[in-house]
Amino acid sequence: MFEVLPLLPADPILGLSTAYREDPNPLKIDLGVGVYKDEQGKTPILSSVAKAQRILLQTEDSKTYITPQGVQGYIDGMLELLLGKGHPTLLEDRVAAVQAPGGCGALRILSELLKRCDSELTVWVSDPTWANHIPLIGNAGLKIETYPYFDKASASIKFDQMVDCLKQVKKGDVVLLHGCCHNPTGADLTEQQWQVVLELAQKQGFVPFIDVAYQGFGDGLEQDAYGVRLLSANLPEVIVAASCSKNFGLYRERVGLAVMVTATPTIRKSIQTQIQSIARGIYSMPPSYGGALVDIILHDDELKAEWKAEVEQMRVRMQSLRHLLVDKLAEKGADRDFNFVNKQKGMFSYLCISPEQVQAIRTKHSVYFVDSSRVNIAGISQNNVDALATALVDVL
């Protein structure tokens, strides 16, 4: 029976890692998949995480099943990180949440929940958005439309056009927003723009679906939660998919959280049973390990302070790599001003070059990044920035 299924092309993001691995060029540069790398190109285990692993090894005394919602300490700690201590929705007992296998798992089960609520609703995603949003939401059987977001020519957000489009979104539809560090563009909404989105949601009656995969990598852990906290505090319903892949460096452990802010505590109870039944029908319950580590870190003052300092160190380093690249491009005589890269936030930058130029830099110079021109800023280092800028100037 399998012969009916064709060979599929490589994943537009994950496929880059395979192509990079197979490239024999010793000077190759990997700016593809969004993982943090240090100056040596390594993705280290955070020191706070390593300590939490040692604690877990000594204290975990059973491998029996965990509860269907996941590690409760993890959920509580993450809700505080996302919403802030004493957020009104928490005090009013309106928040349902389950641990999920990664941010992807959260996006997928939340999409299934939306489908249960209204199989006809449309999810509006930014143009562009993270490539995997489309299958994660679309495979749940939901319709997807795009709203204008980023203008390549000016390398900035088309906010007026975004607003004009959102004014047409109907009650009950869902608008996917990136909580911070927009993937792929690195262009984030300002606090004033979040306020406008809130007013639109109140007026139109659409439900925000916020993907928070990079909290702490933009302006800081608290600042990056601005949008999520504002919308949750002022709307009856908001959904959030959060990930610990990047800010805890727990990529392979698949640690995510699905959050549903509901209108009343009674609805919260029903929705908690619904999301758990969706998870039960797909993977039963989440793996506990990564969540248990985050629980340990977030509930130990010393480890939490250490983790926060590590997140800040990654954030500041990525910011300095932006400057390094922009300065190097100017030094190499690039005929375009790349200063916009300094203003973008988080792990990614959209270089605003054509797919043909991206292909050319890959084949001629073994520099790997996504066709859209998204680069992983964390893949830049003092060692490769010269070669990278030379290659970019060559294909421009």
Considering 124, 130, 194, 307, which one is annotated as catalytic?
Answer: 130
The nearer residue to ligand LMR, 33 or 78, going by C-beta atoms, is 33
Using CB under 6 A as the criterion, what x/- string covers residues 271-290 for binding ligand LMR? --------------------
- Closest residue (Cβ) to ligand LMR? 34
**Is 307 designated active site?**
no
Instruction: Report the alpha-carbon distance of residue 100 to residue 109 in Å, rounded.
Output: 8
The nearer residue to ligand LMR, 206 or 209, going by C-beta atoms, is 209
Token pair recorded at residue 332: 């190499």
Number of residues forming the site for ligand LMR (CB under 6 A): 6
Minimum distance from CB of 322 to ligand LMR (Å)? 17
**Is 130 designated active site?**
yes
Minimum distance from CB of 374 to ligand LMR (Å)? 8
- Helix then strand count (H, E) for the chain reads 15, 13
Element (H, E) at 360: helix 355-365
Asked if residues 187 and 156 have their Cβ atoms less than 8 Å apart, the reply is yes
Considering 246, 307, 328, 345, which one is annotated as catalytic?
Answer: 246
**Is 211 designated active site?**
yes
Q: Which of 67, 152, 71, 178 is closest to 336 using CA atoms?
A: 152
Residues 242, 244, 250, CA angle at the centre, nearest 5°? 155
Q: Rule CB under 6 A: which of 361-390 touch ligand LMR?
A: none
Residues 290, 208, 164, CA angle at the centre, nearest 5°? 140
The nearer residue to ligand LMR, 328 or 374, going by C-beta atoms, is 374
Instruction: Report the alpha-carbon distance of residue 148 to residue 125 in Å, rounded.
Output: 9
Q: Rule CB under 6 A: which of 205-244 touch ligand LMR?
A: none
Asked if residues 176 and 137 have their Cβ atoms less than 8 Å apart, the reply is yes
Q: Does 33 bind ligand LMR (CB under 6 A)?
A: yes
Hey, what long-range contacts does 250-255 have (CB within 8 A, 24 or more apart)? 250/49, 250/290, 250/293, 250/294, 251/35, 251/43, 253/287, 253/289, 253/290, 253/293, 254/101, 254/102, 254/104, 254/105, 254/286, 254/287, 254/290, 255/74, 255/99, 255/102, 255/290, 255/291, 255/293, 255/294
The nearer residue to ligand LMR, 74 or 130, going by C-beta atoms, is 130
The nearer residue to ligand LMR, 13 or 396, going by C-beta atoms, is 13
Strand partners, 375: 349
- Of the candidates 17, 67, 132, 274, which one interacts with ligand LMR according to CB under 6 A? 132
The nearer residue to ligand LMR, 322 or 328, going by C-beta atoms, is 322
Q: Rule CB under 6 A: which of 8-27 touch ligand LMR?
A: 13
Contact positions vs ligand LMR (CB under 6 A):
13, 33-34, 130, 132, 183
Residues with a known catalytic role: 130, 211, 246
